[in-house]
Amino acid sequence: EMKPVSTYIDEGLTPEEIIHTLFNDAKVLGRNDLEWYCGCSKEHFMRALSLISQKDIEEMIQEGKGAHVKCQYCEKEYDFTQEDLKEVLDRHVNIGKISIANQIVAAPLAGISNPVYRKMCHEYGAGLVVSEMISDKALHYENRRTQDMCRTVAEEHPVSLQLFGGDPVTMGEAARYLTTHTDCDIIDINMGCPVTKVLKAHAGSYLLQDEEMAASIAQAVVENTDRPVTVKIRAGFDKE
């Protein structure tokens, strides 16, 4: 019987070494792929249950039901009591009217966080996914590539689209654009990016040096959308 992946991690193996070890162990057992391998546990299914909608779990609790699940790979069976389901419910997060299945958020990555990547993150258990940062000025000037960055797909909800900019007027316009042209669930404001070109635009973490402007931008975004608004923020602009 093979060890759980977490054991290899505790032993300090790199991801590449873990894959290599698992593959070799599989060969010894007469297998040539890893699909059959299962390291399930009750906690594994707790995480899976946390992806069920909050409403469904609340109904199960109200009806006095528990849950019984069976692993499709190793066929182990697990029973979940009312207390287990309440613990699962505690893992849900609400942002405005949007229910987030768990507290795992796929952070925005420039050049990477497109709809395909975000959909994959949801499939692997993320409760919320966020787009790469979208320029308010580029939306103002109707840049086609930036407009395409606002695209979402049905399988990635809940999804947050992140704006960056240093002008309350164009940030308000951008929020209105996302509200009328996309079905995003949340609009996020970037006040954390330290990249030089973003700082030169008085955006990102630059705003942490100007509280009044940061507040004006947040107000402009909130006033131009009916979606919940969040802010990505750092502890401060610098070590001071």
* pLDDT tens digit sequence for 140-152: 999 999 999 999 9
- Taking CA atoms, 226 is separated from 39, 129, 185, in Å, by 43, 19, 10
φ/ψ region of 204 (left if φ > 0, alpha if ψ in -120 to 50, else beta) reads left
Q: Which of 40, 121, 184, 193 is catalytic?
A: 193
The mean per-residue pLDDT over the stretch 170-176 comes to 98
Q: What is the DSSP pairing of strand 98-100 with strand 229-233?
A: unpaired
- Taking CA atoms, 56 is separated from 82, 85, 239, in Å, by 13, 11, 45
Tell me the pTM: 0.68
Would the pLDDT of 220 be above 90?
yes
DSSP 185: S
The mean per-residue pLDDT over the stretch 5-20 comes to 62
CB atoms < 10 A from the CB of 192, how many? 20
pLDDT of the residue at 77: 80
Contact 155, 119 (CB under 8 A): yes
What band does 28 get if pLDDT is binned at 50, 70 and 90? very low
The mean per-residue pLDDT over the stretch 175-203 comes to 96
What band does 17 get if pLDDT is binned at 50, 70 and 90? low
The reply to whether 193 belongs to the active site is yes
Q: Alpha helices, DSSP H only, in the chain?
A: 5-10, 15-28, 42-49, 54-62, 82-90, 115-123, 136-140, 144-149, 168-181, 196-200, 211-223
The mean per-residue pLDDT over the stretch 113-121 comes to 93
For residues 24 and 46, give the distance between their C-alpha atoms in angstroms, rounded to a whole number.
30
Residue (of 86, 99, 24) closest to 58 by Cα position: 86
pLDDT of the residue at 33: 43
The mean per-residue pLDDT over the stretch 157-180 comes to 97
Residue 3 main-chain phi, psi, to 5 deg:
-75, 150
Report the greatest alpha carbon distance in the chain.
Answer: 65
